[in-house]
Chains A and B, each alone.
Chain A
Amino acid sequence: MRLILKIALGNILRHKGKSLVVGTIIFIGSLIMIIGNAVVSGMDRGLQSNIVDRFTGHIIIVSTNQEDNNVFLTLEGRPIEPIAEYKNIKKILQSEPYIENFLPVGINTIMVMSETCEPWRGIVIGVEFDKYQKMFHSNVIVVEGRLITNRERGFLITEYSRSQIYDLNRYWIKPAELNISNNINSNKLMPMHIRTNLVIMGGGEGNYTSDANVPIKGIIKYSYLNNLWQRFNIIDIETFREAFNYFSTDIEETKIPREKSDLIKKALENSDELFSSEEIIENAPVLSEKIDFKRIVKESKEKLEKAREKAKIADVEAGMYNLVLIKIIKNEDLNQSIKKLNKILKENHLDARAISWREAIGTIAQFATLIRGALTLFVLFLFFVAIIIIMNTLSMSAVERVPEIGMMRAVGARKSFISRMFLAETSMLSFVFGLGGIIFGTFGTFTLSLLNIKTGNDMLQLLFGGDVFCPSVELKNLLEGIFQLIVVTLLAVIYPLKIAKKISPLDAISRE
């Protein structure tokens, strides 16, 4: 081995020009390979962080009746099938050890009704907003007004949707609790109709729908990938259900007439007053000096609040949803988790199946895969070119060294020795220049990520995996790079090796 390495090193130094050509190609190839892998890796990480962590979760549970898996970016108007048995699904999700967190949501297309104009169609997510923000790292940020609080009724409309509605209906939406401020475009101010409430109706091909009047609480945007998610408006789950005629008093989907529903709501609101008026209590006839009315009222109020809360929780979770968004524990295998989950859902005969986030965002994932594929193809093309150039240079080198190799064969070197010698030469070049390329590539990637390049372009956002270009070299990338380098070296050396192995002692003599 020492002899082979010595001859290999000697030959590299002897043919400096050729070694430099091969080395430079290997260097550039490794450099681009590492940066390319880092971009792909950064894209993956960015998509993971900006889509999975902040919008979809890893796994999405849909109804078994749901035909199209593309539940987030389905054509507007095509309804997402409801899941009827969330309570049972919840029990399963709570018992699965690989699940970190989950959240049921309603998602569908609504129509914003207008007396005079065309209804505007848009997507809305019905959700318990506080839980949503907690699960998705407060991805929703308020631009005007405020966010909705715990189980408050209200509509959070995106800047994009507001502009669309304005363009269609020429009225401006503003949060009910916000005065018109200077930050509203003065061009749009006059003449302007202002709306602080919207009448929405669940849209869809076959759904039962109903209208709901909902106050605008805030104008929102998403802190990450806003261009992508700006179509998704948010509404509290109860209003969502009202709009779609899903209701929540039992596991089964129940239709409640609107008049009845209003009466129940009113009764609940007024029931508070029965216990809260201290005047009535103070003026009531005294039955006994020992009776502490204040304490009784206080206790009763507390009990009522608790009962109401309990009832609300039960009601909310008993109602209908369209999706359950699930985050799995870090480092858990996504495909395995989906398999396990689907198995258990099936075993329990539930109207639910699990799909991956990539399936759920359909087009975006496909586009991301396309970008990733294009990058991979580019790197492969570079590989191919590098292999051809290295192969050609080494083949020329083998032909030029016929007398030397032939002599080695004549004095007793087997073909395997010649192979090892050639391989050692190429491996040394690959090691030195390839390692250089990997190191420079790593530094290059680090520098690129420090530049903090931002984009508002949808396509670039997908390429970047977010708003900021953040390529990252991970250990996996380095190992990948080394593996690719080995593959390139081996592929590039095959043909020259074949030439070298064919050289016979006779060739050495006949060249004399």
Chain B
Amino acid sequence: MSGHGKAMKLTLHVWRQKNAATKGAFVTYDAPDISPDMSFLEMLDVVNERLILQGEDPISFDHDCREGICGTCGVVVNGQAHGPRGATTACQLHMRSFKDGDVLTIEPWRATAFPVIKDLAVNRKSLDRIIAAGGFISVPTGSAVDGNAVLVPKVKADLAMDAAACIGCGACVAACPNGSAMLFTAAKVSHLGLLPQGQPERSRRVLAMVATMDAEGFGTCTNHGECEAVCPKQIDLGFIARLNRDYLVASLTTRGQEKSSGGSG
């Protein structure tokens, strides 16, 4: 093994669950010879390679880009979504964040709206359905004006970008005691609501997205702030305040069908 750190020996308690219909349980594995230069997922790769050669079913976990941007990966490590390092996805968490002899408990995201598929992999389609309800600007291809025809003040564009940085991993939901998707939803409501292009649909958007969030079985927000603490992209809790304000305004100013589709927020 190369790399500039000393190899570590770890003990893993990993959640194993065959499928959504079967009950799961923790299973203990040794992980000897772990380099501090490995990413957390590379550590799981090493464990899996050994399991396969022993004829044991490898641990299923979702992952793809392994550079912290696709939002596919996500596990709870010792009670923390994406593990101990702040502003870091599980794939960008490196084993140098742990020390020799550590015991790690590894679990999937746990939330009503995220049923387990297998082991550490969960179904997050509910987040897509929140976007489908209103997380967009309706501009069919070809109907756009020149890019510079609509000016966007730099501060607004920067703030919109802060919100748009959400990778949709679902850590906020996993960390929330209520299993709420408020930070996720607020990030999109804020991103689009801050831009001039997003104004025409601003009210409809927030009402529809919140209604869908409720219908999908996500909990309500009671301002714990756990979501912000675990967010790998450091999405600001202030965006939730922005959503609440938009929601209140929309509830008071929107009439008819649009209003009746709103949820409790």
A and B co-occur in one complex? no
Q: Which residues of B contact A (CB under 8 A)?
A: none
